[in-house]
Structure 1
Amino acid sequence: MAQGDIKKVVLAYSGGLDTSIILKWLQAEYGCEVVTFTADLGQGEELEPARRKAELLGIREIYVDDLREEFIRDFVFPMFRANAVYEGVYLLGTSIARPLISKRLIEIAEETGADAVAHGATGKGNDQVRFELACYALNPDIKVIAPWRDWTLKSRTDLIEFAEQHQIPVPKDKRGEAPFSVDANMLHSSSEGKVLEDPNEEAPDYVFQRTVDPLSAPDEVTEIEIGFEKGDACSINGVHMSPATLFAKLNDYGRDNGIGRLDLVENRFVGMKSRGIYETPGGTILLSAHRAMESITLDRDAAHLKDELMPRYAKLIYNGFWFSPDREMLQAMIDKSQEFVTGTVKLKLYKGNVIVTGRASPYSLYSEELVTFEDDHGAYDQKDAAGFIRLNALRLRTLAKRNQMNKAKELADA
Structure 2
Amino acid sequence: MKIVLAYSGGLDTSIILKWLIENYNAEVVTFTADIGQGEEVEEARRKALQTGASKAYALDLREEFVRDFVFPMMRSGALYEGYYLLGTSIARPLIAKHLVRIAQEEGAEAIAHGATGKGNDQVRFELTAYALKPDIKVIAPWREWNLVSRPQMMEYAALHGIPVPTTLEKPYSVDSNLLHNSFEGGVLEDPWAEPPAGMFRLTQDPWQAPDEPELVEIQVEGGDVVAVNGERLSPAQLLARLNEIGGRHGIGRVDLVENRYVGMKSRGVYETPGGTLIYHARRAVESLTLDREVLHQRDQLGIKYAELVYNGFWFAPEREALQAYMDHVAKTVTGTVRFRLYKGNIILAGRKSPLSLYDKSLVSFDEKGGYNQADADGFIKLNSLRLRVRAKAQPKD
**TM-score scaled by structure 1?**
0.92
Displacement of 1:285 in angstroms is: 1.0
Is 1:182 the counterpart of 2:174 in the alignment? yes
Q: Map 1:192-203; keep pairs closer than 5 Å.
A: 192-203=184-195
The change in CA–CA distance for 1:144 and 1:380 in structure 2 (over 3 A counts) is same
Structure 1's 164 and 180: CA in aligned 2 closer, same or farther, altered over 3 A? Answer: closer
Written as runs of structure 1 = structure 2, the 5 A alignment for 1:15-94 is 15-94=9-88
**CA distance in structure 1 between the partners assigned to 2:166 and 2:351 by the alignment:** 49
- Report the CA distance between 1:123 and its aligned residue: 1.0
Within the candidate set 149, 167, 170, 2:163 is matched to 170
SS at match of 1:287: helix
1:342 matched to 2:334? The reply is yes
After superposition, what is the alpha-carbon deviation per residue over 1:236-263, rounded to whole angstroms, capped at 9, x for unaligned?
A: 1111100000000110111110111111
Residue 102 of structure 2 is matched in structure 1 by: 108
Identify the residue that residue 124 of structure 1 maps to in structure 2.
118
Is contact 2:184–2:267 with CA below 8 Å preserved after alignment? Answer: yes
- Give distance in 1, aligned partners of 2:183 and 2:29: 28
- Name the amino acid aligned to 2:130: Y
Residue 137 of structure 2 corresponds to residue 146 of structure 1: no
Pairing of 1:5-404 with structure 2 (within 5 A)? 7-156=1-150, 158-163=152-157, 167-170=160-163, 176=168, 178-377=170-369, 379-403=370-394
Distance change (3 Å), C-alpha of 1:161 and 1:296: closer
Deviation at 1:28, TM superposition (A): 1.8
Identity of aligned residues (%): 61
Q: C-alpha displacement at 1:17, in angstroms? A: 4.2
Q: Distance in 2 between matches of 1:400 and 1:224?
A: 53
Alpha-carbon spacing, 1:231–1:63, altered in 2? closer, same or farther (3 Å): same
Q: Is the 8 A contact 2:4 2:111 kept in 1?
A: yes
Query: Hey, what's the Cα distance between the residues in 1 that align with 2:158 and 2:190?
Result: 33
Change (3 A) 1:117 1:349: same
**Residues 295, 310 of structure 1: alpha-carbon distance in 2 compared, 3 angstrom cutoff:** same
Counterpart residue identity of residue 381, structure 1:
N
2:17·2:52 contact (CA, 8 Å) conserved in 1?
no
> Secondary structure, in 3 states, of the residue corresponding to 1:235?
strand
2:368 partner amino acid: D
Deviation at 1:160, TM superposition (A): 4.6
Check 1:370–1:161 CA distance in 2 against 1; reply closer, same or farther (3 A cut).
closer
The AA in structure 2 aligned to 1:342 is T
Runs of 4+ displaced beyond 6 Å = none
The aligned amino acid for 1:188 is H
For structure 1, the 5+ residue unaligned runs are 1-6
In structure 2, the partner of 1:3 is none
Give the aligned residue type for 1:273.
Answer: K
Q: 1:168 to 1:292 in 2, by over 3 A?
A: same
Aligned pairs, how many? 397
Conservation of the 8 A alpha-carbon contact between 1:260 and 1:280? yes
SS of structure 1 residue aligned to 2:198: helix
What is the CA deviation profile of residues 90-135 of structure 1, one whole-angstrom value per residue up to 9, with x for unaligned ones?
1111111111101110111111111211000111111111111111
Over 3 Å counting, the alpha-carbon distance change for 1:175 and 1:226 in structure 2 is closer
Q: Distance in 1 between matches of 2:219 and 2:248?
A: 21
CA contact (8 A) 1:293 1:342 kept: yes
Deviation at 1:164, TM superposition (A): 5.3
CA distance in 1, matches of 2:38, 2:134: 33
SS at match of 1:223: strand
CA distance in 2, matches of 1:323, 1:108: 18
1:205 alignment partner, SS class:
coil
TM-superposition CA deviations, 1:190-245 (whole Å, max 9, x none): 11111111111222222222211111111111111111111000001111100000
